[in-house]
Amino acid sequence: MAGKRVLIVYAHQDPHSFNAAAKEVAVEALTSQGFIVEVSDLYAMNFKATATAEDITGELAADMPFHYAEETKLAWQQGKLSADITEEQRKLTEAELVIFQFPIYWFSAPAILKGWFDRVLTEGFAFTPEKRYSQGIFQDKKAILSFTTGSQESMFGINGINGDVYVAIWPIQYGTLHYCGFQVLAPQISWDPAHTSQEARGNMLEAWRKRLHGLMEEKPLFFPSMDSFDKELGFQLRTELHEQEASKGSTVDKHLEKVPRASQFKSGV
Amino acid sequence: MAGKRVLIVYAHQDPHSFNAAAKEVAVEALTSQGFIVEVSDLYAMNFKATATAEDITGELAADMPFHYAEETKLAWQQGKLSADITEEQRKLTEAELVIFQFPIYWFSAPAILKGWFDRVLTEGFAFTPEKRYSQGIFQDKKAILSFTTGSQESMFGINGINGDVYVAIWPIQYGTLHYCGFQVLAPQISWDPAHTSQEARGNMLEAWRKRLHGLMEEKPLFFPSMDSFDKELGFQLRTELHEQEASKGSTVDKHLEKVPRASQFKSGV
C-alpha cells in the first residue's frame, strides 16, 4: 500500500467522541499498512456548509438567475473555485479510498457533511453528463460510510419502524457517491454507541479495526450498470431487462435486492 | 382560514430563480385565502447550518463528550437555545402548514436546509421517545416538500436510473417530518426547470398555484401507525401484521407501496 492515499472526511464536534475514536482507529490501521492518510476534520476546519456565490472567486459567469451547479461548473473549468473547495478536490483526487465518518442526523448526513458533498463535488470535477454512475469519474476509487446511529439496530432493520437503513443512506451511497462513480463498500454501522456499554463500544471499534485490514480487497456493493438504462428513453431501465414484476416496484427496490443487507455486516466483518 | 399561519422555509440564493417564484406563488395564493404567511429565507438570513456548541447559550450541561442531540435537548428544557433556533421554533409552533421550497442537491435538501432540520427540530420541542411518528408532537400540522430537480422526470421514475424520487426524499418525508408527527402532503415536484421552456415553467407555477387553493383539504400520505410496531421487540413490525413476503422486502418497500406514486401528482394536481 506504500504511498497510496486515503482521505477521511470526519464530521463530529468532539475529539473525545465515539466518532473521533472510530476516525483514529482508521488513521492508525491504515497508516500501519503504509497508507498516507489525510483527514478533513470539518468542524475543526469550520468548514463552510452553505452553497453561495462566494464559492466562486471573481465575476459570476452567467447572465441569468444564480444557479449554483452551473456557476460552479464554469468556475471549476476556469480555476475560479474558492480555495477551500479546491483543497478538498485536491485531497479527493489523490485518494484511492475515502472514508466518511459521522453520526446520522435525521436519517442522513449532518449538514456540515452535506455541505461538503454540495460544494466539493462540482460538475466537471466529479461528474459530467456522460460520466456518471458505472461510467463515473471516480470509478477507480472506493468510498465507505462509517457512521453511528441514535437508534437501536432493530428499528433500522427490514421490519423496523425506521425502515431499512440502506434506504436511509441511498441518497448518499447511490445518489452521491456512486453517481460520481465511486465503488461503494458496505457501510460500517456502529449502532447507538451513546446508549450502550463501554465494552460494546470497544467491541465496535475493534470490529472496525479488523475490517480496515482487508477493506481494499472487499467487493463493492452491486449497482446496475449505466448500460442497463436507455438514454433515448430518458435513462429508464431497458425494456428487455424488465422482469415481469417491473411495473410493480421501483428501480430502487431492484437495486436494493442486490445490495447486501445490513445484517450481513454486523460486527466482526 | 382567517388567522391561520403558514411557515415557508425557503432555500434558494437568488430572488429571480424558479424556486423564488414558486415561493412567491405560495405567499400570494395563501395570503389571498386569509392565511398569515411567514417566510424563513435561509440564505438571506445567512442561516447557520452547522450543529455546534454555540447553539447552546451559557455552560454545557453534560460532563461528557459533546453530544449535540443531548445538549440541545437539555438546552431546550432550560430555555438556553440560541436566539435563531428559538425564533424558528416559534414560527413552527404557530404554523398549521409548513412548506419547504428548495432545489434538490444530491438527492436531498441543500445543506442550509438540512441544517435547519438538524438545529431546529430538537428533542423535547419536536419529538420525545414516546411522541414520534403517528404519535408525534406535530400531528395536527401539515408539511409539504416543494422542490425542483436537475434531472428529467423519467430518471426519477419507478424504472429510472436515479430510482424512485420517493425513495430519495424518504429520509426527509418519513425520517424527519413524519418522525415529528407531521401529516406529510404529496410533494410538489417541478421537474428540471433550468432545462425547460419559459412556457413549461409558467405551467408548473400555475399548477402549484391551483393546488395551493385546495392544499389543506388534501389527504396526507399514508404511513403505518406506530401501533403497528412492537416496542418490546425493538419497534419491529408486529408479527401478526407480517405478510407472507415480509421477510423478502424491507419495511420501506411496504411503506412505499402505500404512498401515491409521483406520476399521480403531475402538473395540474
B50: helix, coil or strand? coil
pLDDT given at position B85: 98
Say which residue the cell 431499512 belongs to.
Answer: A164
A–B CB contacts, 8 A cutoff, strictly below = 252
Distance from CA of B1 to the nearest CA of A (A): 32
Question: Which ipTM value was assigned to this complex?
Answer: 0.92
**Residue pLDDT, tens place only, B125-170:** 999 999 999 999 999 999 999 999 999 999 988 778 898 888 899 9
- Residue closest to A145 by CA, chosen among A179, A176, A106: A176
In tens, the pLDDT along B8-20 reads 999 999 999 999 9
The answer to whether the beta carbons of residues B93 and B140 sit under 8 Å apart is no
Distance from the Cα of residue B250 to its chain's centroid: 22
Q: DSSP string spanning chain A?
A: -TT-EEEEEE--S-TTSHHHHHHHHHHHHHHTTT-EEEEEETTTTT---S--GGGB-SS---SSS--HHHHHHHHHHTT-B-HHHHHHHHHHHH-SEEEEEEE-BTTB--HHHHHHHHHHS-BTTTB-SSS-GGG-TTTT-EEEEEEE-SS-GGGGSTTBTT--HHHHTHHHIIIIIITTTPEEPPPEEE--GGGS-HHHHHHHHHHHHHHHTTGGGSPPPP---GGGEEGGGTSEEPGGG--TTTTTS-HHHHHHHTSPPGGGG-TT-
Return the H-helix or E-strand segment holding B117: helix B111-120
Query: What is the per-residue pLDDT across B180-226, written as a single tens digit (0 to 9) for each?
Result: 999 999 999 999 999 999 999 999 999 999 999 999 999 998 888 88
3-state secondary structure (DSSP) of residue B105: strand
Q: Specify whether the CB–CB gap between B87 and B45 falls below 8 A.
A: no
Kindly determine whether residue A252 and residue B164, on different chains, have CB atoms separated by under 8 Å.
yes
Check CB contact under 8 Å for B251 and A153.
no
Instruction: Please give the pLDDT value at position A63.
Output: 74
pLDDT at A153 over 80: yes
Which are the contacts of A159, defined by CB distance < 8 A and separation ≥ 6? B236, B237, B242, B246, B250, B251
Q: What is the mean pLDDT of chain A?
A: 88
A59: Cβ contacts below 8 Å, ≥ 6 apart: none
Average pLDDT over residues A163-189: 94
CB contacts of B250 in chain A (<8 Å) are 158-159, 163-164, 166-167, 256
Mean per-residue pLDDT of chain B: 88
The three-class DSSP label of residue B97 is strand
Task: Retrieve residue B240's grid coordinates.
Answer: 401478526
Q: Within a 10 A sphere around the Cβ of B119, how many other Cβ atoms?
A: 25
* B154 near A CB under 8 A: yes
The half-sphere exposure of B190 on its side-chain side, counting CA atoms within 13 A, is 30
Give CA–CA dist A179/A136, Å, rounded.
Answer: 7
Distance of alpha carbon A180 from alpha carbon A189, whole angstroms = 22
* Least Cα separation, residue A176 to chain B (angstroms): 6
Residues 211-250 of B with CB under 8 A from A: 226, 229, 233-237, 242, 246-247, 249-250
DSSP letters of B235-251?
SEEPGGG--TTTTTS-H
Above 50 in pLDDT, residue B45? yes
User: For the residues A97-119, what does the mean pLDDT come to?
Assistant: 98
- Give the distance from residue A66's alpha carbon to the nearest chain B alpha carbon, in angstroms: 6
Q: Above 70 in pLDDT, residue A224? A: yes
Q: Assign B79 a pLDDT band (cuts: 50, 70, 90).
A: very high
Rounded alpha-carbon distances, angstroms, from residue A144 to A112, B1, B165: 18, 49, 23
C-alpha cell at B83: 436566539
- pLDDT for position B251: 46
Averaged pLDDT for residues A151-166: 87
pLDDT at B268: 27
Q: In this complex, do B163 and A170 lie within 8 Å of one another by their Cβ atoms?
A: yes
Give the residue with greater pLDDT, A184 vs A249: A184
CA separation, residue B205 to residues A143, A180, A249, B101, B241 (Å): 39, 32, 30, 13, 42
At residue A262 the predicted structure's pLDDT band, cuts being 50, 70 and 90, is very low
- Give pLDDT, residue A266: 28
Q: Are B156 and B162 in contact (CB under 8 A)?
A: yes
Cα separation, A249 vs A105, in Å, equals: 28
Rounded-to-integer distance, Cα B182 and Cα A202, Å = 38
Which residue has better confidence, A262 or A92?
Answer: A92
Lowest mean pLDDT among A14-18, A106-110, A236-240, B45-49: A236-240
What is the distance between the alpha carbons of residues A136 and A144, in angstroms, rounded to a whole number? 16
pLDDT at position B167, please? 87
Q: At what angle do helices A111-120 and B111-120 cross, to 10 degrees?
A: 180
CB B47 within 8 A of CB B230: no
- What confidence category does residue A166 fall into, taking pLDDT thresholds of 50, 70 and 90? confident
Q: Is B68 on the interface with A (CB under 8 A)?
A: yes
- B245 pLDDT exceeds 80? no
A17 to B233: CB separation less than 8 angstroms, yes or no: no
Percent of chain B with pLDDT strictly greater than 70? 88
Q: Does the pLDDT value for residue B267 go beyond 60? A: no
> How would you classify the pairing of strands B183-184 and B36-41?
unpaired
A73: closest CA among B194, B17, B115? Answer: B194
Q: Which residue has the cell 444557479?
A: A67
- Measured between beta carbons, the chain B residues lying within 8 angstroms of A71 are none
Quote the pLDDT of residue A2. 64
| Ramachandran class of A49: left when φ > 0, alpha when ψ lies in -120 to 50, beta otherwise | alpha
pLDDT of residue A60: 81
Q: Does B60 touch chain A (CB under 8 A)?
A: no
Residue A249 has pLDDT above 90, yes or no: no
Specify whether the CB–CB gap between B57 and B81 falls below 8 A. Answer: yes
Partner residues linked to A127 by β-bridges: A123
pLDDT score of A246 more than 90? no
**C-beta separation of B13 from B45 below 8 A:** no
Position A163 confidence tier, pLDDT thresholds 50, 70, 90: confident
For chain A, state the CA radius of gyration: 19
B261 phi/psi in degrees, rounded to 5: -75, 150
Contact A175 B168 (CB under 8 A): yes
Q: How far apart are CA A225 and CA B113, in angstroms?
A: 32
**Residue B15: which residues within 8 A CB-CB, separation 6 or more?**
none
DSSP state of B88: H
Instruction: Answer whether residue B252 shows pLDDT above 60.
Output: no
| pLDDT tier for residue A32 given thresholds of 50, 70 and 90 | very high
